[in-house]
Amino acid sequence: RLERLAETLQSQPKARAGDEYETLRQVIAMVENFHLEGDRAPREELLDAAVDGLLRSLDEHSSFMSAET
């Protein structure tokens, strides 16, 4: 898995200065490749969880609801 992650990261275009999404992309790739249950969480669910966490950090009334919720 480590080799696959390294290949994936190397094949991606290098992040430009100010590319705020690069960290999120790398963390999702790490979860998918290294977490014990990373293969069980679809990428869309991981992104929904990231967006929800961002909104919940604003205040106690903010949260994200996907179209499926």
d(CA 53, CA 50): 5
The larger pLDDT score, comparing residue 34 to residue 9, is at 34
pLDDT, tens digit, 9 for 90 and up, residues 11-23: 766 656 567 788 8
pLDDT, tens digit, 9 for 90 and up, residues 21-64: 888 888 888 888 888 887 888 888 999 999 999 899 999 999 98
Is pTM, for the whole model, over 0.85?
Answer: no
d(CA 19, CA 8): 18
Residue 69: the pLDDT is 57
